[in-house]
Structure 1
Amino acid sequence: MNRPNIVFVLADDLSQNLVPYLPNVAELGRQGTTFTNYTVTDSLCCPSRASILTGRYPHNTGIVKNHGSDGGFLLFRSRGEEKSTFGTDLQHAGYRTGFFGKYLNEYQPRMRHVPPGWDTWVAGGDAYAGFDYDLDENGTVVHYGDRDQDYLTDVLSAKARAFITTSAATGEPFAAEISVYTPHLPYVPARRDASSFAGLTAPRTEAYGRIPRNAPAWLAPHSPLTAAQIKHMDSGFRQRVQTVQAIDRMIGDLRTTLAAAGVERETVLIFSSDNGYHMGEYRLNPGKQTAFDTDVVVPLVVAGAGVAAGQVIDAPVENIDLRPTFADLAGTPAPSEVDGRSLRALLAGRDPGPWRTAALIEHSDPATDPADPDHQRQSENTPPSYVALRTTAITWVEYVDGTREYYDRRTDPLQLDNLAGTLPPERGAALSAALAALARCEGAVRCHAAGAAVL
C-alpha cells in the first residue's frame, strides 16, 4: 500500500506503567512495532503537542509552556504555526483529514476556530472531567451533559469511527487524530469502569519514595512520602487505570470499524501519549516535567500497512519524527523546517541508514498558574528549567542553576545514582557541547547531525 490511511490515537499523560492494563494495545504491539526509546521533546502537554503537530523542537516552535506569552494555543496561532502541521501536509497530499479531541492548551470551543489542515474538526477545551463539556464541531459549539453516553472518550471514539466509515466509502485516503483527555487529572473514568481494579496500588519500584544519590538541588531536600500522600497516589493510580479502559476499548472499536469498512490492511494505526507521569517515584507527588524516564519515555506502538509484525526497536526516536513519518506515508516531502526524520524504514524493518544516537529534551519552568491544568500545587515538585540528552545508555541533564545529572541506565535503569560529579572533565565537556548543539539545531539535517554526534 503506497498511501495508507493513518489513524493516530494520542493519550494525555499516559505513562508506561499503564500499558500492562491495555490489552488491545498489547495486541497492536504483537501485530506491529513497539519503540522502547520513544521520548517526548518536553514532558508538558502543549510543548509536546506542538512538537507532534509541527515536527519541530520547542526551541524552534517557541511553545515552551501551556499558557501565556511563551506557550499555549494563542501563541501557537499568532506565530503562524498552524499554517504548517502534519494536518496541512496530509490535506495537501489529498487526504481527507479529521481531528477529534484535545488540541492545545488555551483552545476553547467558543472561539469557533478551525485550524488549517482539517476537513472534519471536533475539538474540546477544558474537558478533563469527561462530562458536562462543549465541543467545537466544524465551527458549531455542541454541549454534552452528564449521561453515561456523554463520556468524552466514548463520544470521540464514535465520531472518529463515523469519520472512518464515511471516508473509507469515498475510496480516497484519510487521516484521523483521536486525542483523548485521559488519564490526565482529575482521572475520571467511564462509570462502567469506576468500580474496577479494586485494591490496586501504585507500582512500588525501587525508585518509589527514594531520592537519587547526589540528587539535583531541587530534588535533594524532599521529605519522605507521608501515609496520606501514599494513600492519595494509590487511589489516583487506580483511577488512572480505570480511565484508560475506555481508551483501550476505543482502539479495539477502531480496528473493528476499519475491518468492517474493508480498509484495515490499508491503514496504519499509531498509539502514543503526549508525555509520561510520575506517582511517588523519587519522592515526587503526582506530576511530570522531569527528565526521568517516568516522564519523558512514553509508548509508541504502530501496526498496519507496511509495518513489520512483532518488531521491537530500541533506536532513539522522538515525537518530532511523527510529522515526517506521516508525510512519508502520504508520499509527500516534509517541509524543510521540520527537525525530525521519518520512521517509515524502521517500521518496515529496513535499515534507515545513519540514525541519531541521542534525543533532546527541553523544559522551561512554568510560572505558577492555578488555571493551568498541569499546575503543581507543591512547587517543589517542579524542576527548574533544563535541557537534557538521552541515548539508549545514558541521560545527561543541565539545569539553569548549574546543576548536572548523569545516569548510566545500563547499570542504573531507574536513575538512582547521579554520577555527574565523577565524570572526567573531558567527558562532561563533550556532553555539554553535544547538548548545546542539539539545543540550537534547526531542520532535519542539522538536528540529525547534532543528535548523531553524541556517544
Structure 2
Amino acid sequence: MLNYLLLVLYAGAVLSDVEKRPNFVVILTDDQDIVLGGMTPMKNVQQFIAKEGVTFANSYVTSPICCPSRASLLTGQYIHNHRTQNNSLSGNCYGTEWRRKEHRVFANALHDAGYNTFYAGKYLNQYGVKEAGGPEVVPPGWSEWHGLVGNSVYYNYTMSNNGVPTYSTDLYLTDVIRDLSISYIENQTESQPFLMVLAPPAPHQPFTPARRHEGVYSNVTAVRHPNFNIAVDDKHWLLRMPPSPLPETMMPELDRVYRSRWEALLAVDEMVADVIGALEVNALLDNTYVIYTSDNGYHIGQFSQVYDKRQPYETDIKVPLLIRGPGLKKNAVNPQPVLNIDIAPTILHLAGVKAPDMDGRPVKMEKEEIGERYMLVEYYGEGRDGSVDEKCPWKYDGDNLAQCYPEYDCKCQDARNNTFACIRHIAQRLNMKYCVFADTEKFAELYDLTADPYELTNAVDGEFQAIIVWYNNYLSHMLKCRGAKNCDDPMGEFSN
C-alpha cells in the first residue's frame, strides 16, 4: 500500500511539472527591417507583445539573408557550423547536408520532451522542391506540419500539409497561416505543452498586400535618412558600382516598395491579434511565451542601392525582437545584445529541456544592462547565371554577379565576392562594427555606430593599427568557434 501511495504521489508530481511547462509561439516574419520603420504598421504587436513584455533594442541576425539566418534560428548555430551558406540547394538551403543534420533543429528536443510541435509557413527557401524530396517530406520534430514549398509568395503557392501537397490560387497565405494556428490553439489543453512557429511571407518581395489592405499607405514614401541614395567612395565595390547615386526616375519605385511592404505586414499584425485572442479565450495565454522576430532586415535606397538585403549594414542585420510571457516585465526595453542563435537555447532553457550543442546562449530576460558581446555576421555572396539581364552591360560576367536588371538601372544586388564576415561589438561604451570582404581588394570597413549611426564614414584607415589587428584576430577566431562558451570567448584569456 505504501509503495502504491508513493507511486500515486510521484505520478501527481510529474503531472504537475508537465502542466507547469510553458508553451511557445514564435512568429517569424520575412525581411522585416527595424531601422527603416518596419515596425510602424504593427499596432497589435506593440499593444499585445511590446506593452505586455520586453522589446530587445539590440537584436541582430547571423546573416542578412533568409535561408542561412533561418537555419541559425532553428539550430542555434553560426553559419560556419550549420553550413547553410545561401538560398540555393548547392549552398545547403535544404540541401543534403542540412537534411542529414535536421535533427538538430530545436523543435526535435521539445518534441522528444513531450511537447506538441506545429509549423506553418515558410521554412527554408528550397524546402519541398523536387530535388530535395518534394513536399511529401515532413521535417523531423514537428507533430503538425504546414510548410510552404519554396520561397515567399502570397497567392498561387503549394503547401505541404503533413506531407500532402495542396495548391492554392486565391487564398492569401498569411490568412491561411492565421486560420491554421487558431484551429490548432483551439485543440490544445493545459495537460500538454506546445510549440507553435508561424512564418508568414510578409514583407518579402513581391510585397503583395491582402486585397483589403491595398492602398492603405498610398501617401507614404520611403524614409530618407542621411545615407539615402548617396554616392559612396569608401565602401566595397558592389556599392561603388554605377549608377551612384540612383537616378531620380528610380525614386517612385523605391516609394512603392516601401509602402507595399508596410501594407503586406498589416495581415501579419491582424494575425498576431487573433492568435493572442485565441490563446486568451482558451486559457493558455498566461502560460505562453510569444516571440516576435524576423529572419533579416532590408534596405531601400541606402548608399545608392536599390532594394534588397545581403549587406552588412544595420538596415540588413538588425531586426525586431519582442517577447512576452510568464514572469517577464511589461513594457520594458532591454539593451543587451542578442543574436537569432540565442532564440533556440532560450526556448529550451525556459522549457527545462537540455539543448544540443549550440553557439547561442539563453537570453537573460531579467538583465537590464548592456554588458559586452562580440557577435559574428557572415554572408557568402552568390553569382547567379540567368539573373543578369542581357540589356545590362555586365552580362559578360553572369557567373559572378546576381540580380542585375534594367528596372534596377542595372545596379547589381549581389556578387560572389560580396562575401564578408563582420564583428558587431557592443558594450557599455562601445558600439562598433568591423567587416572584411573576401575580394581582391581584401576590403575592410569599420564603423563607430555611436558617432556615426548611419555608417556614412568608413573609419578603417583612421584608427590605430592595434585596433584593426585586434578585430582581425577576433574575427579569425570567431569564424572557427563552436559552442556557446567558445563563441562567447573564442580568444580565451585575450578576451575581455
The alpha-carbon deviation at position 216 of structure 1 amounts to 2.5
Could you tell me whether the CA contact under 8 Å between 2:336 and 2:368 is conserved in 1? no
> Is 2:243 aligned against 1:216?
no
Could you tell me whether the CA contact under 8 Å between 1:135 and 1:142 is conserved in 2? yes
| Corresponding letter in the other structure for 1:51 | S
The alpha-carbon deviation at position 332 of structure 1 amounts to 1.0
Could you tell me whether the CA contact under 8 Å between 1:213 and 1:417 is conserved in 2? no
Query: Deviation string for 1:421-441 (max 9, x for gaps)?
Result: 111111100011011111110
Change (3 A) 1:271 1:215: same
Relative contact order (C-alpha < 8 Å, sep 6+): which is higher?
1
SS state at 2:166 partner: strand
Aligned to 1:83: 103
Could you tell me whether the CA contact under 8 Å between 2:190 and 2:284 is conserved in 1? no
Q: Aligned ranges for residues 122-137 of structure 1 at < 5 Å? A: 122-126=146-150, 128-137=152-161
Change (3 A) 1:400 1:341: same
Could you tell me whether the CA contact under 8 Å between 2:422 and 2:475 is conserved in 1? yes
Could you tell me whether the CA contact under 8 Å between 1:97 and 1:176 is conserved in 2? yes
Count of paired positions: 444
Change (3 A) 1:127 1:290: closer
Aligned to 1:386: 420
Q: TM-score, normalised by structure 1?
A: 0.93
User: How far apart, in 2, do the equivalents of 1:203 and 1:351 lie?
Assistant: 30
Which protein has the larger Cα radius of gyration, Structure 1 or Structure 2? 2
The alpha-carbon deviation at position 208 of structure 1 amounts to 0.5
SS state at 2:469 partner: helix
SS state at 2:95 partner: helix
The alpha-carbon deviation at position 233 of structure 1 amounts to 0.8
User: How far apart, in 2, do the equivalents of 1:243 and 1:8 lie?
Assistant: 19
- Structure 2 unmatched ranges of 5 or more: 1-18, 389-400, 405-409
Identity %: 30
> Is 2:379 aligned against 1:363?
yes
> Is 2:54 aligned against 1:33?
yes
Aligned to 1:65: 86
The alpha-carbon deviation at position 235 of structure 1 amounts to 0.5
RMSD: 2.2
User: How far apart, in 1, do the equivalents of 2:247 and 2:367 lie?
Assistant: 50
Change (3 A) 1:76 1:262: farther
The alpha-carbon deviation at position 351 of structure 1 amounts to 7.3
Could you tell me whether the CA contact under 8 Å between 2:135 and 2:159 is conserved in 1? no
> Is 2:429 aligned against 1:398?
no
SS state at 1:111 partner: coil
- Structure 1 unmatched ranges of 5 or more: none
SS state at 1:281 partner: coil
Change (3 A) 1:451 1:159: farther
Q: Aligned ranges for residues 45-444 of structure 1 at < 5 Å? A: 45-78=66-99, 80-108=100-128, 110-126=134-150, 128-146=152-170, 150-167=171-188, 169=189, 171-212=191-232, 214-222=234-242, 223-336=244-357, 338-343=358-363, 346-347=364-365, 349-350=366-367, 357-368=373-384, 376-377=403-404, 378=410, 380-382=412-414, 384-392=418-426, 393-401=431-439, 402-444=442-484
Change (3 A) 1:400 1:77: closer
Q: TM-score, normalised by structure 2?
A: 0.85
Could you tell me whether the CA contact under 8 Å between 1:93 and 1:330 is conserved in 2? no
Query: Deviation string for 1:409-454 (max 9, x for gaps)?
Result: 1110111011001111111000110111111100111001139966
